[in-house]
Amino acid sequence: MLIKLEDIRRYYRVGTEEVHALNGVSFQLAKGEWVAIIGQSGSGKSTLMNVMGCLDTPTAGRYWLNGKDVSHMSDNELADIRNREIGFIFQTFQLLPRETALGNVELPLIYRGLGAKERRERARTALDQVGLSNRITHRPNELSGGQRQRVAIARALVTDPSLLLADEPTGNLDSATGQEIIGLFEQLHRAGHTICLVTHEPTLAARCPRAIRISDGVIVKDGPGPEVALDGRTERARVAAVT
């Protein structure tokens, strides 16, 4: 198993109150799987994504990523794990405005300590993969929303991570561009990448082979994407949503 979560709990203290953002989450993810994590805002899906992305550590429970128990690692170790194992894709793209597309994609390789020449080569290849080889010297403000997200995806791919972690990747895009990006994810899935997509949109989750619905910090349903995402709708509505 590439990813194994075992009774993951994450509690916060807000004032005098203890908030149980994750209340015992367990699931596994095989290499090459594409899973959607779906839930309303406040359901705990963002906390789950932060834990899976090693940006946050669980209060209790164990998390194995690519064979390593990362649940109790130090801050520095987690930084290295993020650099090697995780490819983040954010709703707001999170590109550095003063860097070119190439510079943005190179960024995680700098923190890996690679030389300039190798960085540039790998960044070019990654940009080529997302279909932006003719935009490498553009800055983010010279690119459309869809192109920006492609740069961000290239940045996630460039380190060849075990897991691509996408947080509402189409949330800031119009629907046509959103479809393009989902198409790109489908391509990456076919190429063998492991993808975890966090969203509150049932139609998006329905495109994934597998979906996990989370509510009040626990998993309420885990199964094929369309089934979990469109839970409770009629068969006709499901078909309409997917097609």
Which of 30, 96, 237, 240: binder of other proteins (CB under 8 A)? 96
- Confirm or reject binding of residue 9 to other proteins (CB under 8 A): no
- Confirm or reject binding of residue 90 to other proteins (CB under 8 A): yes
- Confirm or reject binding of residue 1 to other proteins (CB under 8 A): no
Residue whose C-alpha is closest to residue 210's, from 38, 36, 46, 49: 36
- Measured distance CA(174)–CA(53) in Å, rounded: 26
One character per residue 128-147, x = contact with other proteins (rule: CB under 8 A)? --------------------
- Measured distance CA(212)–CA(36) in Å, rounded: 6
Beta carbons within 10 angstroms of residue 168's beta carbon: 20
Alpha helices in 113-234 (DSSP H): 116-129, 145-157, 175-190, 202-205, 225-229
Least separation, in Å, of the C-beta of 230 and other proteins? 29
**Footprint on residues 61-80 left by other proteins (CB under 8 A):** 75-76, 79-80
One character per residue 31-50, x = contact with other proteins (rule: CB under 8 A)? -------------------x
What are the φ and ψ backbone dihedral angles of 147, each rounded to 5 degrees? -65, -40
- Confirm or reject binding of residue 235 to other proteins (CB under 8 A): no
Beta carbons within 10 angstroms of residue 9's beta carbon: 16
Give the distance, in angstroms, between the CA of residue 224 and the centroid of all CA atoms in the same chain: 18
- Confirm or reject binding of residue 94 to other proteins (CB under 8 A): yes
Residues at the site binding other proteins, with contacts judged by CB under 8 A: 50, 53, 55-56, 75-76, 79-80, 82-84, 88, 90, 94, 96, 98, 107-108, 110-113, 155
